[in-house]
Amino acid sequence: MMTAEQLKNSILQMALQGKLVPQDYTDEPAQKLLKRIREKKNTLINNKVVPKDKKMAEVSEDEQLFDIPENWVWTRIGELFQHNTGKALNGANKEGIILPYITTSNLHWNRFELDNLKEMPFTKAEMDKCTAVKGDLLVCEGGDYGRAAIWNYDFDIRIQNHVHKLRAYEKLCTEYFYYVFNFLKSTGQIKGKGIAIQGLSSGALHNLPVPLPPLREQYRIVEKIHEVLPEWNKYEAASTKLNTLNASFPEMMKKSILQEAVQGKLVPQDPNDEPASVLLKKIAEEKKRLIKEGKIKKQKPLPEITDDEIPFEIPEGWEWVRLGNILRLLTDGTHKTPHYVPSGVPFISVKDMSTGQVSFSNTKYITEEEARELNTRCNPEKGDILLSKVGTTGIPATVETDRLFSLFVSVALLKFNSNLIHPDYLKYMICSPVVQKQCAENTRGVGNKNWVMRDIANTVVPIPPYEEQARIVRELERILPQFIVLERSMRKR
């Protein structure tokens, strides 16, 4: 499928090849137009209105991008336009009147952004050289070099040294040459020079080969482009929408599948499964025992789930429950910045697990003594789930190592009985829309936003029988890798 950019370039190439509108052989040939332009240029040079430049070579066959009609001619920008860049701002150049000016940041394709104009002093001579008037074609020398727009305002403006001002020696359709620059830039024909910062030098601009049609045909070409541009804009909008949809499709499908999973629609229910209500009683009894044994602290009861909090119906044998009620322990890392050392025990913050995996490759370190002290309250162990609660919130990561490490406050720690709650079901459930929606709604603050522990504990989640949790995990592990492959293939397009 042709992209919007390819379609635009195809239209412009037809225009510059003389194929967009029919030739009218009653038009004055471009050769006569060019001769008249050269005569006008020589007069201006002789009168010292413009500086004399070196004689330019004819455009060779190797430089001609394509064939053009007989009454057209290949020429160079320097033959058609008097051009120069603007003033460079420096500490030693402070004479003159303070006036606003534009630079490449103000100059965009076919438009200008004038909300935040900068100012600098201009002498009379600098104003004569650096002032753009209505109808001038301005082209970026630096930045996105070759980017162009016509100054169509009723007031004049000064230009900075990274902007070229092009003013035709003789009457031309300047908008035609705007489209010339658009085509040459889009197709890679305008190549900047430089290593640290590339740019379109005055010499390169001066010698840039361009196709020159008869004057009246220039206007007909622009008129036809105006006719087809609305259709191209529609195509671009549709193409952009399609590309966005294609790019987001794997992620959308993944979310849809996870939603199906937590609604009980991904795998069939088995009436022989022990219902989730029994599973929740076992979790509650285990927590009572651990509290009695002094292994965990008694928590304040979480509120009952109201009908308004239940987003959808679940199968018989499932239960709605608050996340905190299915966990042995829900806590977060230390709220105080520890004493860092060059090496030692990894100290994990949200940046070390926000990819969905715990990474030890770029962590900070604390002493083992401090880690042991911190871990008396929050001790991550193999099989636990970490949950990002600051910044990019709601990302789970399974602890897959016996290695000693400690947590910062930006990470929550979820401990649970893996014989009652399947670890991978818990992780997939956290990633599902039903939890992510609650996470988004309850993440608060400015800057580094926070999903506070109370709201994490109060998150409403659907729990199936344990056997069905396992079946859901097996089905997800069969399906989801296919979407990873699909996502990678779409990124390569």
Phi, psi of 257 (to 5 degrees): -65, -40
* DSSP-assigned letters across all residues of 356-399: SS---TT-EEE-HHHHHHHTTT----TT-EEEE-BSS---EEE-
Within a domain: 185? yes
Q: What is the mean pLDDT of residues 336-361?
A: 95
**DSSP β-bridge partners for residue 211:** 74
Over range 368-385, report the average pLDDT: 96
> What is the rounded distance in angstroms from the CA atom of residue 321 to the CA atom of residue 464?
11
Count CB-CB contacts under 10 A for residue 479: 15
Q: What's the domain range around 100? A: 4-234
Q: Which of 177, 208, 234 is a domain's end point?
A: 234
Residue bearing the bigger pLDDT, 206 or 194 = 206
**At 101, which helix (H) or strand (E)?**
strand 97-102
296 domain-assigned: yes
Pairwise CA distance, residues 420 & 426, whole Å: 11
- How does residue 464 score in pLDDT terms, banded at 50, 70 and 90? very high
For residues 425 and 430, give the distance between their C-alpha atoms in angstroms, rounded to a whole number.
Answer: 9
Contact 410, 397 (CB under 8 A): no
Flag the least confident range among 33-37, 150-154, 190-194.
Answer: 190-194
Does residue 477 sit within a domain? no
The model's pLDDT over 249-271, given as tens digits with 9 standing for 90+, comes to 567 788 889 999 999 999 999 99
The winner for highest mean pLDDT among 88-92, 131-135, 229-233 is 131-135
Percent of the chain having pLDDT more than 70?
92
Of 1-10, 82-91, 427-436, the one with minimum mean pLDDT is 1-10
Please state, in angstroms and rounded to a whole number, the distance separating the CA atoms of residues 31 and 429.
Answer: 73
The answer to whether residues 302 and 457 touch, using CB atoms and an 8 Å cutoff, is yes
* Mean of all residue pLDDT scores within the chain: 90
pLDDT at 190: 86
- What is the CA 80 to chain-centroid distance, rounded? 39
Mean pLDDT over residues 333-347, rounded? 95
| Domain match, 170 and 296 both | no
- Looking at the structure, do residues 61 and 10 belong to the same domain, yes or no? yes
Residue 191 inside a domain? The answer is yes
pLDDT at residue 200 is higher than 50: yes
Checking if the pLDDT of 242 tops 60, the result is: no
Residues 6 or more apart whose CB falls under 8 angstroms from that of 327 comprise: 414, 415, 416
Report pLDDT for 490. Answer: 47
Q: Do 297 and 432 belong together in one domain?
A: yes
Note whether 372 and 275 are same-domain residues. Answer: yes
Whole-number pLDDT of residue 195: 42
Q: Tell me, what's the pLDDT at 1? A: 57
Mean pLDDT within 212-235: 89
Banded pLDDT at 455 (limits 50, 70, 90): very high
174 and 60 belong to one structural domain: yes
Res. 196: pLDDT tops 70? no
The neighbouring-strand residues paired with 386 are 397, 413
What pLDDT sits at residue 2?
Answer: 64
Instruction: Give the model confidence (pLDDT) of 147-188 as tens digits.
Output: 999 999 999 999 999 999 999 999 999 999 999 999 999 888
Q: Is the pTM of this model over 0.75?
A: no
Q: Which of 493 and 203 is assigned the larger pLDDT?
A: 203
Task: Read off the CATH number of the domain in which 309 is found.
Answer: 3.90.220.20
Domain boundary among 180, 215, 234: 234
Question: If we measure between CA atoms, which residue out of 26, 8, 6, 4 comes closest to residue 220?
Answer: 26
Q: How far apart are CA 160 and CA 169, in angstroms?
A: 22
Residue 199 within any structural domain of the chain: yes
228 with 275, same domain: the answer is no
* Backbone phi and psi for residue 462, each to the nearest 5 degrees, phi listed first: -95, 130
Spatial distance between the Cα atoms of 200 and 45, rounded to a whole number of angstroms: 25
Query: Mean pLDDT, to the nearest integer, of 129-135?
Result: 96
- Tell me, yes or no, whether 301 and 206 share the same domain: no
| 220 exposure class (CB count in 10 Å sphere: 0-12, 13-18, 19+) | buried
Same domain, 274 and 222: no
Give the model's pLDDT for residue 61: 92
Number of domains, the chain = 2
- Asked if the structure places residue 202 within a domain, the reply is yes
Give the Cα separation of 157 and 395 in Å (integer): 51
Q: Is the Cβ–Cβ distance between 97 and 122 less than 8 Å?
A: yes
272 and 205 both lie in a single domain? no
DSSP string, 48-65: TSS---PPPPPPPGGG--
The β-bridge relationship of strands 97-102 and 157-159 is parallel
What Cα–Cα distance (Å) separates residue 202 from each residue in 53, 85, 86? 12, 8, 11
Mean pLDDT for 278-289 is 96
The alpha carbon of 429 is separated from its chain's Cα centroid by a whole number of angstroms, namely: 28
Q: Are residues 156 and 296 in the same domain?
A: no
Q: Cβ(28)–Cβ(218) under 8 Å?
A: no
For 419-428, what is the mean pLDDT?
Answer: 96
pLDDT of residue 335: 94
Helices (H), 17-135: 30-46, 77-80, 124-130
Q: Which of 333, 389, 387 is nearest to 364 (CA)?
A: 333
* Average pLDDT estimate for 215-219: 97
Query: Which percentage of the chain shows pLDDT scores above 90?
Result: 77
- 183 and 280 both lie in a single domain: no
58 and 115 both lie in a single domain? yes
Q: What is the pLDDT of residues 45-94, one digit of tens each?
A: 998 888 888 888 999 999 999 999 999 999 999 999 999 999 988 767 77
Look at residue 252 and tell me if it is in a domain.
no
Instruction: Select the more confidently predicted residue: 465 or 3.
Output: 465
In a domain, 481, yes or no: no
